[in-house]
Amino acid sequence: MTTTERLLNVSKEIWEAYHEHPFVKGIADGSLDKEKFKYYMIQDYLYLIDYTKVFALGAAKEKDLSAMKLFAGYTHAILDGEMDIHRAYMARLGITPEEAETANVALDNLSYTSYMLRVAYEEGQAEVAAAILSCAVSYEVIAKKIVEKHPEALNHPFYGEWVSGYVADAYHEENQVLIDLMDRLSDGYSEKQLQHLEEIFMACSRYEMAFWDMAWEMRR
């Protein structure tokens, strides 16, 4: 069993619960209140700013040049790739990037990014990868399950773009690079170290669920 397989296995129960969350189900069938989605988009935009910093810290701490390039490359992929999805939606919702960047960060959001940044500042490269991986891979898993159950979701006039972005081959390929990096950085880890990676991954998986709760309840 690879490290990533081990992390996914230990978090299986909470990942299965993502698919039953009302926010996710609302995207799947197109019934989600756009005000809730608007709130989510602003918070996720703010989240991605700090998420990018975690990658940047991974690059700064990395000694291996190839891994450094991967971490650094993802800062570009997020800032000029994933965040483009957010900017497009925000434009449709009448939100400017300036408005989003000056919005208040919800407490659940702040707690999540603060945890990841603490891991990035205090721990090693494999631990940084574990903190990053939950968000990146869970979105692909969620979007693919949506398409599996609701193929028409890809063509929804509003939410279809969100679903399409996370089932795209390019997004999967980026995630596979992260998975390979996770497994490589943790190669040779002791059982105690692997258990610590599980703790980090599980914490971030729980934060992902809290993020969906926050968005659904529009919790400040």
HEC letters along 96-140: CHHHHHCCCCCHHHHHHHHHHHHHHHHCCHHHHHHHHHHHHHHHH
Minimal CA–CA distance to 219: which of 146, 19, 209, 98?
Answer: 209
Q: Is the pLDDT of residue 182 over 70?
A: yes
Residue 125: what pLDDT? Answer: 87
| Whether 204 is catalytic | no
Structure tokens at 28: 């799947």
Question: Widest CA span of the chain, in angstroms?
Answer: 51
What average pLDDT is seen over the chain?
Answer: 90
CB 100 within 8 Å of CB 83: no
pTM over 0.95: no
Rounded distance, CA 112 to CA 67, Å?
24
Q: What is the pLDDT of residues 145-165, one digit of tens each?
A: 999 999 999 999 999 989 998
Residue of 62, 135, 140, 174 marked catalytic: 135
Binned at pLDDT 50, 70 and 90, residue 215 comes out as very high
Please compute, for residue 128, the number of CA atoms within 13 A of its CA located in the half-sphere on the CB side.
Answer: 26
Mean pLDDT of 59-76: 73
Helices (H), the chain: 3-10, 12-18, 22-29, 34-61, 65-77, 83-92, 97-101, 107-122, 125-149, 160-167, 169-185, 191-217
- As a whole-number percent, the residues of the chain with pLDDT over 90 amount to 69
Q: What is the pLDDT of residues 86-97, one digit of tens each?
A: 777 788 888 887
Q: Mean pLDDT, to the nearest integer, of 197-218?
A: 98
Predicted local confidence at residue 114, as pLDDT: 97
- pLDDT for 100: 82
Tell me, what's the pLDDT at 82? 65
Burial environment of residue 129 by CB neighbours within 10 A (0 to 12, 13 to 18, 19 or more): buried
Instruction: Give 81's pLDDT tier (boundaries 50, 70, 90).
Output: low
Any idea which fold 3-217 has? Answer: Heme Oxygenase; Chain A (1.20.910)
- Residue 62: band (very low, low, confident or very high) from pLDDT cuts 50, 70, 90: low
DSSP class of residue 175 equals: H
Stretch among 62-71, 176-185, 191-200 having the lowest mean pLDDT? 62-71
Count of residues in the chain = 220
Q: What average pLDDT does range 120-145 have in this prediction? A: 94
